[in-house]
Amino acid sequence: MKKNRYPDAYRSLLRLRHSPLQAARDLYYIHVQLVEENKIIRGTNYFVRFSELFTIPRVRRATLAAHTVMLAQQMCGINIIAFYSSTVFAEAGYTPRQALLVSLGFGAVNFLFAFPAVFTIDTFGRRTLLLFTFPQMAWTLLAAGFCFLINTDVGTARLGAIALFVFMFAAFYSPGEGPVPYCYSAEVFPLAQREQGMAFAVTVCLGWAAVLSITFPRMLLALTPTGAFGFYAGLNVLAFIMIFFFVPETKQRTLEELDQVFSVPTRVFAKYQITHTLPYWFKRWVLFRRNARLEPLFKVELDKKHKLDGGDGGSQEE
């Protein structure tokens, strides 16, 4: 539609929506958004729009959330194994050939377990997937680190245990922190700042990946594999806390609804997590009170959407 190919856009929307009426509705909605965005960006350049990532409150909160999930992808430690998997498995006691084969298995697990995200990212939600998988990555990484302490005299138990927990770590990573950061970062910015926002978010991710690749060999020598794995297990916990306080849910939101999501000040959102989300979670999943309800931070009116979609009405909860 930015290239004025409206007929092509309409044919694409027909494939994505249940009826021509919905496709026409979304075509008009996107058109109006583009018209408004063009009014905003007219007369500006790349550097002005880049500065808006930090000067406009709504965009700044989206920048914080996108950078949090991108930084968390490196904090979780996936790339210390992806980049140095052969080294890690050689430290465990595998022969060079065995280390290469186990590294192949690590990549296969990473690949296969990414497919569940196709079905869960829009049902469970981005934030929910992250908050579920990060604790699992923390304990599996910590367990893998402790397995390096197993005496080599016990046979293949040490080798098998390390491979098992590393594979479990990859299995938890792939449907959560693997695809979510890129999906999340691509949708949180308004159209006027989307290109700059997404580009800078990827820069943050790959920049810290470079830091990991440079520092891990020396960390391995200084801390031993157990210490290095324990360090990154701790970073998983820290990343979980950052996501809990800085990353709102964005699943099934329109651009207009995302403006409302990121209009909430960060301190208000963080306070809501402590005063509402945590008590609800404790009552629902620790005390198993089925009548526990989470009061939404904000409400989005969906009556019109309900009538057009034939879906389940009501408000969505943050």
Per-residue pLDDT reduced to its tens digit, 166-196: 999 999 999 999 999 999 999 999 888 888 9
- Note the pLDDT tens digit of each residue in 115-156: 999 889 989 999 999 999 999 999 999 999 999 888 877 667
Report the amino acid identity of residue 110.
N
Domain limits, the chain: 1-43, 56-246, 264-318
**Rounded to two decimals, what is the model's pTM?**
0.82
pLDDT band at residue 228 under the 50/70/90 scheme: very high
CATH annotation of 56-246: 1.20.1250.20
Q: How confident is the model at residue 317 (pLDDT cuts 50, 70, 90)?
A: very low
Over residues 88-116, the pLDDT tens digits come to 888 878 888 888 888 889 999 999 999 99
**Could you tell me the pLDDT band of residue 310, with boundaries at 50, 70 and 90?**
very low
Tokens 């409400």 locate to: 299
